[in-house]
Amino acid sequence: MTWSVSVYRHSGDAEVHEYTSHRLTSAALVREHVDLARERPWVSRVALTEHVREVTRRAIAESDLPVYGPLATAPPAPVGGTVMARFYEIEDSPPAGLPSLDDVRERLLELHRGTTHASGATEAGSTRPRLWEVTVVDFARQVSDDAPPYPW
């Protein structure tokens, strides 16, 4: 979990976004940013955003891969989340994330060829590589700096 701090100021009758911090990894950094912002006389409001990244890995069979071509659209994001990435991984096989279905199929074919002898017999005890579908979802929610959900 990380946080960002956004600072606003008044400009005439309008409230203007002044800046947003980078992602902060500790409550102490959040507290420091909020305290510094509150010391400035021109600041009208300080807003905190909590960021959570959820990575799901689902084991799939080769037959579960979508049809050839570009990746199908990502599954719908959970409420409040945004799908940031969707890719496939083959367990114990570099590269870690394969960018396209064609790359996945090509790598699987290389692995299958590697476990088959010239005679066409498969090595004893060889198993099919484990294939994973990986989906990365980011959640962001506004939190109150008066009652933060972490040690203040």
Tell me whether residue 98 is exposed, middle or buried, using C-beta atoms within 10 angstroms of its C-beta: 0 to 12, 13 to 18, 19 or more: buried
pLDDT tens, residue by residue, 70-127:
565 667 788 888 888 888 888 877 666 666 777 888 888 888 787 654 445 545 445 6
* Residue where one domain finishes, among candidates 30, 52, 74: 52
Q: How far apart are CA 102 and CA 30, in angstroms?
A: 43
In total, how many domains does the chain have?
A: 2
pLDDT tens, residue by residue, 47-78:
999 999 999 998 988 888 877 655 656 677 88
Q: Is 55 helix (H, G, I), strand (E, B) or coil?
A: strand
pTM of the model: 0.69
Determine the structural domain holding residue 33 and report its residue range. Answer: 2-52
